[in-house]
Amino acid sequence: MSGKRYTEEFKIEAVKQVTERNYKISEVADRLGVTAKSLHDWIKKYGDSSSQH
């Protein structure tokens, strides 16, 4: 698969928008041009486990 690669910093910032600023996953994904699936995966990897919904 030859998908676009994002920096770790980009992913962490995207996760923060969901976990700290309470934006919806679909909203952040649309704004950043990534899939909701990718964002879910990043939240699993980088998100604070106590902030999982």
pTM: 0.81
Is residue 8 a contact partner of residue 43, using CB atoms and an 8 Å limit?
Answer: no
The answer, yes or no, to whether residue 1 has pLDDT greater than 70, is: no
Is residue 32 a contact partner of residue 23, using CB atoms and an 8 Å limit?
Answer: no
Q: What is the pLDDT of residue 27?
A: 98
Q: Nearest 5 degrees, angle CA 29-CA 10-CA 38?
A: 40
Q: What is the pLDDT of residue 48?
A: 74
Q: Which two tokens stand for residue 17?
A: 């928008």
Q: For residue 46, give the nearest of 7, 1, 4 by alpha carbon.
A: 7
pLDDT digits (tens, 9 = 90+) for 30-53: 999 999 999 999 999 998 765 444
**Residue ranges per structural domain of the chain:** 8-47
pLDDT digits (tens, 9 = 90+) for 19-29: 999 999 999 99
- Which residue type sits at 38? S
Q: What is the pLDDT of residue 53?
A: 47
